[in-house]
Structure 1
Amino acid sequence: MDTEEFQLPRSRQANERLHAMIPGGGHTYAKGDDQYPENLAPVISHGHGAHVWDIDGNRYIEYGSGLRSVSLGHAHPRVIEAVRRELDRGSNFVRPSIVEVEAAERFLATVPTAEMVKFAKNGSDVTTAAVRLARAVTGRPRVAICGDHPFFSVDDWFIGTTPMSAGIPAATTELTVAFPYGDLAATEELLTRYQDEVACLILEPAGHIEPPPGYLAGLRELADRHGCVLIFDEMITGLRWSEAGAQGLYGVVPDLSTFGKALGNGFAVSALAGRRELMERGGLRHPGDRVFLLSTTHGAETHSLAAAMAVQTTYVEEGITARLHALGERLAAGVRDVAASMGVGDHVVVRGRASNLVFATLDESRQPSQQYRTLFLRQLLAGGVLAPSFVVSSALSDADIDRTVEVVAQACAVYRKALDAADPTPWLGGRPVKPVFRRLA
């Protein structure tokens, strides 16, 4: 479909209704309509497998489903059946449910590097709990975050370090320091500079690049030597890298780790896991000061825990991680081929592990460009591909991948025209998409 003909009138109206009642027009900034070309932010009606339909009646092949959470595809039968079995049995009680026992056993069998686990509803809750626990057990105030990773929590200790720091006291932000990924010498210098002040090192163990040889083991040694807690944020790497996350793949055991996203296949569940000695400080069987670790009304809601168990079983029994890698490799190869053939191979760039692909849109000077991203997204949408990233789900078929590559080829042809004109403006259809983290709306 020609992009000039591609219109979303019902979605446009729904977006206006969303903004009238909900700050930001949605419940996640990364899903905002400012992340999409002007007036082309679809409002979703429903999804099944790797496809979603908007309220204008358009069907899309979807990538990055639910901010990487729906890795098995929408309404996956094994997950839905597990949830359905619990629906008539109640969801939340005045005492723990037996489902909590089963879910914990299932998780610790899947992630054997952990000794205890506590469930919650979102990633920020568990990363913040990990930070609080690290501060409690070390008696130290500072948090060292990997500055190369984009997001850890909505809470003050992290958001204060971003351009959206309004409302966060400077005294809080000053307690968070940053270290670069892959650079052990710089991290050691940081720990030496703040000797006996850093409670923890928190990072995604892997991202768009593989960890350099010996890096994670080196971090483990640094944390031990400087007496701080090593925390792996496995929100993205959990299940997508291996059933046991990046720690299971690379063989380096953190003190604490946090999981979410793929764990529930769209159902709200996250997990804080780690060494018993640390985790028990949030429990009742230790002599020290109690840590208010996690205490959430809905953290052990049975439907989501049933979903998590079904997800883990499906991953193990059906080899989902391997399938995600195979699909991602097919997609990456296809996109790189058509980008090169259209003369934009240095401008439309696929990056990341095969199970977690993103793309960069670069301008004439090969610098990241929100304008060219707008052009690219607009062409993809018109072709029936909803792709803020190229993160695959296991529900994608080879035909879906092939169709995506065809649409990318058409988008790359337009991209080449814009590069030749040295001006993408005629192909934007309005204002460019915007970065999530920015000071002004």
Structure 2
Amino acid sequence: MDNEEFSLPRSRAANERLHAMIPGGAHTYAKGDDQYPENLAPVISHGRGAHVWDVDGNRYIEYGSGLRSVSLGHAHPRVTEAVRKEIDRGSNFVRPSIVEADAAERFLATVPTAEMVKFAKNGSDATTAAVRLARAVTGRQRVAICGDHPFFSVDDWFIGTTPMSAGIPESTNALTVAFPYGDLAATDDLLTRYRDEVACLILEPAAHAEPPPGYLAGLRELAHRHGCVLVFDEMITGFRWSEAGAQGLYGVTPDLSTFGKALGNGFAVSALAGRREVMERGGLRHAEERVFLLSTTHGAETHSLAAAMAVQTVYVEEGITARLHALGEQLAAGVRDAAASMGVGDHVVVRGRASNLVFATLDGNGQPSQEYRTLFLRRLLAGGVLAPSFVVSSALDDADIERTVDVVAQACAVYRKALDAGDPTPWLAGRPVKPVFRPLA
């Protein structure tokens, strides 16, 4: 691919088709073409392993696959074989399939801190079910979210806290409050201020930094002392941190937790798991008021559950979590060296756990810059690297990492020129990329 002449005419036309029929041109805002340089948003034809091909015929090394969901690589043979076998047996029935029992047993064996599980299709269903369950169990209405984490659900209790809160009643927004990650004293103050009003604390147990020593255990003690339900959102940390999630890695058991993304390797499956006495409130074997927990027509599609079982088998048998960390460490070291060698080590910054790397693009004053991100992404795309993040899949190999680092070095050379000029605009060739959460298009 020629860096100066790189263009995507077929993808551009396909994006126009998408926008004509689909609000936003994609079914996930994070996949929108506004997240990419102008006219350089590839539309994907197919993928295999760590590579994807766009409709223009270009091949890319892909990072952040499926918004972190395809952690084994595209069309993983053990997963697709499990799905193929199950599809021929039917996918949805008027009564539970025996596959639902098999999948639940497999999940609870993999995540032994949980005692019951219920499957759904997406993360928002699971996190909102956790919130509803916590409200029912505690008799309280307020939800406390960790304000340092970017996303929990498409549902009103969370989206009302973002800049895209149009359509959500203020009365709903008032029921969600925020606490800072890593600060037990501030959280204690919040729960004291709203004494006996907060149903749950919901957070990602870890994100771009390790939890401070004792923090998660302290948060659990704090939640229980104030009569709250502790919910871990393990959509990202599940499997990428360990097969048993961050709760397994750090040895702190929440009341409820939610899983998705890596669980299906691209197939639609999520899970709400937790303590029996809490989860059973959504069941039939208790004497309390019933909770309409999760009831989804497609929540237990057999082929998606077969995919989830295969994913768990592959993770355990092939040591996938360790491989993700090793690949991430290799990539992070290479990118940091490349950035430093081009004199932009303080401006192109790799952050996060090795299995979940992101990058920051900073301007001459060390501030986050969408313009410099645009410049960087343009050069990566032209070099055959599709990387909204540096989140690895286990399908990457040494050659992929080496190629990525070479392309990053070329991008950093241009980045240095822009910094020296004091203005990245000549290298953007259009509008800058935009943040997902903004009030106006």
| 1:146 equivalent in alignment to 2:150 | no
Which digits, 9 at most, give the CA deviation of each residue in 1:114-143, with x for residues without a partner?
A: 000000000000000000000000000000
CA distance in 2, matches of 1:398, 1:168: 47
SS of 1:292's equivalent in the other structure is coil
Following superposition, the deviation at residue 15 of structure 1 comes to 0.1
Following superposition, the deviation at residue 327 of structure 1 comes to 0.1
CA distance in 1, matches of 2:395, 2:325: 13
Following superposition, the deviation at residue 279 of structure 1 comes to 0.3
CA distance in 2, matches of 1:237, 1:389: 16
Following superposition, the deviation at residue 253 of structure 1 comes to 0.3
Following superposition, the deviation at residue 87 of structure 1 comes to 1.2
Which digits, 9 at most, give the CA deviation of each residue in 1:2-33, with x for residues without a partner?
A: 43300000000000000000000010000000
Which digits, 9 at most, give the CA deviation of each residue in 1:164-188, with x for residues without a partner?
A: 0000000000000000000000000
CA distance in 2, matches of 1:338, 1:408: 7
Which digits, 9 at most, give the CA deviation of each residue in 1:52-107, with x for residues without a partner?
A: 00000000000000000000000000000000111110000000000000000000
Which digits, 9 at most, give the CA deviation of each residue in 1:326-371, with x for residues without a partner?
A: 0000000000001001000000000000000000000000000000
Which digits, 9 at most, give the CA deviation of each residue in 1:356-405, with x for residues without a partner?
A: 00000000000000000000000000000000000000000011001000
CA distance in 2, matches of 1:392, 1:369: 23
CA distance in 2, matches of 1:117, 1:382: 44
CA distance in 2, matches of 1:37, 1:410: 17
SS of 1:162's equivalent in the other structure is coil
Which digits, 9 at most, give the CA deviation of each residue in 1:292-314, with x for residues without a partner?
A: 00000000000000000000000
Following superposition, the deviation at residue 242 of structure 1 comes to 0.1
CA distance in 2, matches of 1:382, 1:177: 43
SS of 1:238's equivalent in the other structure is helix
Moved over 3 A (4+): none
SS of 2:172's equivalent in the other structure is helix
CA distance in 2, matches of 1:340, 1:388: 21
CA distance in 1, matches of 2:2, 2:298: 46
CA distance in 1, matches of 2:415, 2:212: 34
SS of 2:231's equivalent in the other structure is strand
CA distance in 2, matches of 1:201, 1:398: 41
SS of 2:407's equivalent in the other structure is helix
CA distance in 1, matches of 2:273, 2:316: 19
CA distance in 2, matches of 1:395, 1:433: 28
CA distance in 2, matches of 1:330, 1:429: 32
Following superposition, the deviation at residue 203 of structure 1 comes to 0.1
SS of 2:368's equivalent in the other structure is coil
Instruction: Quote the residue 1:115 is aligned against.
Output: 115
| TM-score between the two structures when normalised by the length of structure 1 | 1.00
SS of 1:288's equivalent in the other structure is coil
| Identical columns (%) | 90
CA distance in 1, matches of 2:182, 2:281: 31
Which digits, 9 at most, give the CA deviation of each residue in 1:204-227, with x for residues without a partner?
A: 000001000000011011011000
Note the residue ranges of structure 1 that are not aligned, 5 or more in a row: none
Instruction: Quote the residue 1:6 is aligned against.
Output: 6
Instruction: Quote the residue 2:214 is aligned against.
Output: 214
SS of 1:3's equivalent in the other structure is coil
CA distance in 1, matches of 2:314, 2:423: 48
Instruction: Quote the residue 2:188 is aligned against.
Output: 188
| TM-score between the two structures when normalised by the length of structure 2 | 1.00
CA distance in 1, matches of 2:157, 2:398: 43
CA distance in 2, matches of 1:210, 1:419: 32
CA distance in 1, matches of 2:338, 2:409: 5
CA distance in 1, matches of 2:70, 2:110: 19
CA distance in 2, matches of 1:44, 1:269: 22
CA distance in 1, matches of 2:181, 2:87: 44
SS of 2:239's equivalent in the other structure is coil
CA distance in 1, matches of 2:168, 2:234: 26
Q: RMSD of the alignment, in Å? A: 0.4
CA distance in 2, matches of 1:173, 1:115: 32
SS of 2:303's equivalent in the other structure is helix
CA distance in 2, matches of 1:49, 1:80: 12
SS of 1:52's equivalent in the other structure is strand
CA distance in 2, matches of 1:192, 1:4: 59
Which digits, 9 at most, give the CA deviation of each residue in 1:384-433, with x for residues without a partner?
A: 00000000000000110010000000000000000000000000010000
Which digits, 9 at most, give the CA deviation of each residue in 1:248-282, with x for residues without a partner?
A: 00000000000000000000000000000000000
CA distance in 1, matches of 2:311, 2:38: 36
Instruction: Quote the residue 1:59 is aligned against.
Output: 59
CA distance in 2, matches of 1:132, 1:253: 20
Which digits, 9 at most, give the CA deviation of each residue in 1:230-252, with x for residues without a partner?
A: 00000000000000000000000
CA distance in 1, matches of 2:220, 2:132: 20
SS of 1:16's equivalent in the other structure is helix
SS of 1:418's equivalent in the other structure is helix
